[in-house]
Amino acid sequence: MEYINIGNVKIEKTAALAPMAGVADCAYRTLCREFGAAFTVSEMVSSKGLCYSDRKTAELCTVTAQERPMGIQIFGSEPEFIKRSIDIVSHFEPDFIDINMGCPVPKVVNIGCGCALMKDIKTASEVTAAAVKASSVPITVKFRKGWDNSSVNAVEFAKAMEAEGAKAVTVHARTRDQFYSGKADIEIIAEVKKAVKIPVIGNGDVTDIKSCLDMYNKTGCDLVMLGRGSYGNPFVFREISSHFKGEKYTAPSLEEKMDIMLRHIRMIIAGSQKSELLAMHEARKHAAWYMNGMYASAKFRAECYRLESYAQAEELAKKFITVQYERELTENGQHNQH
């Protein structure tokens, strides 16, 4: 197993879990790390919100032992708030702090944060410099290929962040204009890698060991990061880490998938301050993702979105397994007739 260093933090060279607001919460991160994610990152949290003691802060910034190595991700464009928010998040003892300069959503870019900083390298540099000065743990920066195709500047941007003391950069190989659609252009990651000395983390469209190796081989990146490929599929980290550990990979059986789905739901309920019903609202999309790509999954996914209790989820998982086996039997029967 190879390792990389982000500052003084030693990271397994497998694949890391991408930060995903509204998806990769404590339960999600814990599972992915358990299955072999190299590190995890919190959902993004507003530096201004932190300073005005947004009540969601503790929920977003808590770092448990099972999620480590873990970074807390902040966003903001005012160095003073960045400094103060770093003081606050430092109390949660993250292994590193990441600054989001890639978020494409209007609510964030319209206030000059997230990917809007790619259009203003001077402010972005001031933000990173303020963070580096205030932090006792490594500062990393996550950004995109550029704002749009006529302003691709990831290379220049990465160099500027390195100059201000960032200890690693993550490049999501899409422009802001692309949001999450179109193909990631991983060539840009190769260019960034050639231009800086700090570790470069490549991100975009990795979903399995094949696309992970492609990302490593075609870009020379130091680490791969993946997000959506882990929806209902923490097993992807087992697939990737077993490859690098030289271990045999066993794909999850249907039963294991449903077991982990149910455990995931139990973790969401246990970690929630809300009622079981409200926690189930959170859990529904995850349950649906675990059922993706199998027989009658559209119908089952629709049922997931109506789940109101854990007991119902258990029932649904049983029904799902039965339907898959019945289908297999019918298929085998038909096969034998021919």
What is the binding site for ligand FMN (CB under 6 A)?
Answer: 18-23, 43-44, 73, 100, 102-103, 142, 172, 180, 203-206, 226-229
Minimum CB distance to ligand FMN, residue 162 (Å): 18
Q: Looking at beta carbons, which residue is closest to ligand FMN? A: 227
User: Cβ closer to ligand FMN: 140 or 324?
Assistant: 140
Given a contact cutoff of 8 angstroms between Cβ atoms, the answer to whether 128 and 165 are in contact is: yes
User: Cβ closer to ligand FMN: 226 or 265?
Assistant: 226
Minimum CB distance to ligand FMN, residue 21 (Å): 4
Question: Residue 196 corresponds to which tokens in the numbers above?
Answer: 């800086």
Q: Which of 51, 61, 103, 115 is catalytic?
A: 103
User: Cβ closer to ligand FMN: 40 or 324?
Assistant: 40
User: Cβ closer to ligand FMN: 36 or 227?
Assistant: 227
User: Cβ closer to ligand FMN: 38 or 317?
Assistant: 38
User: Cβ closer to ligand FMN: 22 or 246?
Assistant: 22
* Active-site residue flag, 26: no
* 3-state DSSP of the chain: CCEEEECCEEEECCEEECCCCCCCCHHHHHHHHHCCCCCEECCCEEHHHHHCCCCCHHHHHCCCHHHCCEEEEEECCCHHHHHHHHHHHHCCCCCEEEEEECCCCHHHHCCCCHHHHHHCHHHHHHHHHHHHHHCCCCEEEEEEEECCCCCECHHHHHHHHHHCCCCEEEEEEEEHHHCCCCCCCCHHHHHHHHHCCCCEEEECCCCCHHHHHHHHHHHCCCEEEECHHHCCCCHHHHHHHHHHHCCCCCCCCHHHHHHHHHHHHHHHHHHCCCCHHHHHHHHHHHHHHHCCCCCCHHHHHHHHCCCCCHHHHHHHHHHHHHHHHHHHHHHHHHHHHC
Minimum CB distance to ligand FMN, residue 87 (Å): 21
Minimum CB distance to ligand FMN, residue 208 (Å): 11
End-to-end CA distance of the chain: 49
Give CA separation, 240 vs 7, 14, 173, 236, in Å: 24, 6, 20, 6
Minimum CB distance to ligand FMN, residue 304 (Å): 17
Instruction: Please provide residue 208's backbone torsions phi and psi, each rounded to the nearest 5 degrees.
Output: -165, 180
User: Cβ closer to ligand FMN: 142 or 301?
Assistant: 142
Minimum CB distance to ligand FMN, residue 106 (Å): 14
Minimum CB distance to ligand FMN, residue 188 (Å): 13
The residues assigned a catalytic role are 103
